[in-house]
Amino acid sequence: MKYSVITFGCRVNQADSLAIEGELMARGATSTDPETADLLVVNTCSVTSTADQGARQTIRRIVRANPDVQVVVTGCYATRRPDEIRELPNVTHVVRNQDKDTLVADLLARDGRFVDGDGPCGATLAPGIAGRTAFTLRVQTGCDEHCSYCIIPKTRGSGRSRPLDDVVRHIERAVAAGYKEIAITGVHLGSYGRDLEHADRTTSAPRISVGGHSARTSLDVLVRVLAEWPDDVLFRISSLEPMDCTPAIVDLVAGSPRLAPHFHLPLQHGSNDVLRTMRRPYSASSYRQLIERIARLMPHASIGTDLIVGFPGESDAQFEMTRSLVSDLPLSHVHVFPYSDRPGTEASKLREKVDGVAIRKRGTTLREVGARLARDFRARQAGTVRRALTVDDGRSAVTDNYVKVTLPDQHARNEWTVVRL
């Protein structure tokens, strides 16, 4: 059987899709283009209405080109609006996020045409397959924060963590498969271990030993395990909420060659009043202090952020607070999102909507600021020497601090090299 997987959205979805592809290939399926596939798996996002629309358009376009393809849809949009998904052409199965980990096994149980053979579950794809050089590992899913604009807690459920020994086994398998870089991701990565800690308390489970110290499972503990990993592998920590990026984590990244000097810390807004309405549990000043501390310890670190423009009630003065704060920080990447209502969220019920023209203008302004910050970051790297992993066709590489460069000579893919920027 020939399959194709299309992924929308975040790194968590990318990790989930990688696991689905591993299951399919372990059972004898082969990867192909969507237009020639027998089975199409679409892993959807629903963070904005644009993401929903993109999934619908993609499915319709592929079915027009490949009218015999059977379509399985999973992810956040499929969880939030399953009836809408079922109305799309050729959709045979709609799989909630909660059932995504058993998607392939469930397909086999329902319809043997989907896969050939009965290979082992949980296969790890080798580097380069499906166009991936780094391995993305989901260690956590779900979120209990309930930001006022976000629908994800309703589509992903409450926070759930992989036990640490399971995470270690997945890393060992990825390293054995040949991966040299592993991205650690989660929906609310900073909450890693909190649900496990509760289980430990209620079951009297033993505490684990890390660095000679006994500790309950937490993100700090996980990052320490990564920092002390014996193999020559680079771990890249995915997006962290500012309040979860603890001094201990910053110190570990600063002190270990196993951890990439690369942070993604969503600010969302520079006004404390707007942050409170968003239900974001930190202040603009604490965010500034965090970024400045990282930059002081690691002047070479890449630091990205997310911003929302046009949140209900956002005034010109409040927008200016965001622009001013972001302009002053040593950021390397700025992702700007125009606010859009997500039905079912608290923010969607707020009345003071910002005019669409103003949202677009503010978004353009922040993107210009972000472009300048990116240029400044790259200029600061000029003349430095960094370790990098070759990607694509071997003529490009990505440094530990997340700068993609063109190489003067071709290398093998997935190879460590040293570059002068």
pLDDT at 200: 53
273 occurs within a structural domain: no
CA angle 330, 331, 337 (to 5 degrees): 145
Last residue of a domain, one of 245, 260, 275: 260
Average pLDDT, whole number, for the chain?
91
Note the pTM of the prediction, 2 decimals: 0.87
Helix (H) or strand (E) holding 54: helix 49-65
Domain check: are 32 and 76 in the same one?
A: yes
33 occurs within a structural domain: yes
Are the beta carbons of 59 and 6 closer than 8 angstroms? no
- Domain encompassing residue 406: 385-420
Is pLDDT above 80 for 215? no
80 occurs within a structural domain: yes
Identify the weakest region by mean pLDDT among 21-30, 74-83, 181-190, 240-249.
Answer: 21-30
- List, for residues 73-125, the tens digit of each pLDDT value: 999 999 999 999 999 999 999 999 999 989 998 887 776 665 554 444 455 67
Domain check: are 140 and 181 in the same one?
A: yes
> What's the chain's length in residues?
421
CB atoms near residue 132 (< 10 Å): 18
Domain check: are 95 and 140 in the same one?
A: no
Domain check: are 92 and 21 in the same one?
A: yes
Domain check: are 22 and 61 in the same one?
A: yes
Mean pLDDT of 38-45: 95
Domain check: are 105 and 157 in the same one?
A: no
pLDDT at 130: 61
SS3 286: helix
Mean pLDDT of 29-38: 93
Number of domains comprising the chain: 3
Amino acid letter, residue 124: T
- List, for residues 324-361, the tens digit of each pLDDT value: 999 999 999 999 999 989 889 999 999 999 999 999 99
Mean pLDDT of 292-307: 98
Here the CATH number for the domain that contains residue 219 is 3.30.750.210
- Cβ burial of 31 (10 Å; 0-12, 13-18, 19+) is middle
pLDDT at 199: 56
